[in-house]
Structure 1
Amino acid sequence: MTTTVAAAAVSKDFGAYQDAAVRDPVIITKNGQPCTVLLAYEDFVRLSKRDRQVDLTAELSADEIAAVEAVEMDPGLDHLNSELPPAKV
């Protein structure tokens, strides 16, 4: 169960909240509003692996655009085409 606690309380008894965060995330509030989460390192690593890098297509070079355009989907995945919206004519 997630715990919510004021920042002042965390500063007074950090060790206890650090121990609690190993079991479940601890939401730390400032002026009554959530501002920080204290969580186990393993949870941080797991969540970090889910991060995705986003690049703007406007920043791609002509060679990179050509490489993307040349890619062909594996024929075994043709069934996924049915999930695409209808092509605009």
Structure 2
Amino acid sequence: MREHDMKVSTAEFIRNFGPLADKALSEPLTITKNGRDRLVVISADEYARLKRRDRRVVALEEFTEEEVALIAKAEVPPGHEALDAELKDWRP
């Protein structure tokens, strides 16, 4: 969660559901219970975007030799350089 994400208690969320639900359309809204983060409300569009990013984990042994060879030859198409930022600090 980012430092500036909005946080409200469960009681406050219930009292101000309409305006807070509208706020969650533009930024994540964390709902707390007894001072602890419990739920995060996000827009349906943001949820769909996150679901599209889901990835299936596959063990290397599950790939055929042909698939491994194709992966080794693969290149990122021009115009997708911004994806490099996602791997900037990645470590195995």
C-alpha distance 75-30 of structure 1, shift in aligned 2 (>3 A)? closer
Deviations 1:38-88 (A, max 9, x none): 111110000011112346x6xxxxxxx5xx34424139728xxxxxxxxxx
- Greater helix fraction, Structure 1 or Structure 2: 1
| 2:16 aligned partner | 13
| Pairs aligned (count) | 69
Note the 1:1-89 alignment, pairs <5 A.
1-54=4-57, 68-71=63-66, 72-74=68-70, 77=73
Q: Percent identity?
A: 28
Q: Give structure 1 regions of 4+ aligned residues with deviation exceeding 6 angstroms.
A: none
TM-score of the aligned structures, taking structure 2 as reference length: 0.61
TM-score of the aligned structures, taking structure 1 as reference length: 0.63
Structure index of larger Rg: 1
2:53 alignment partner AA: R
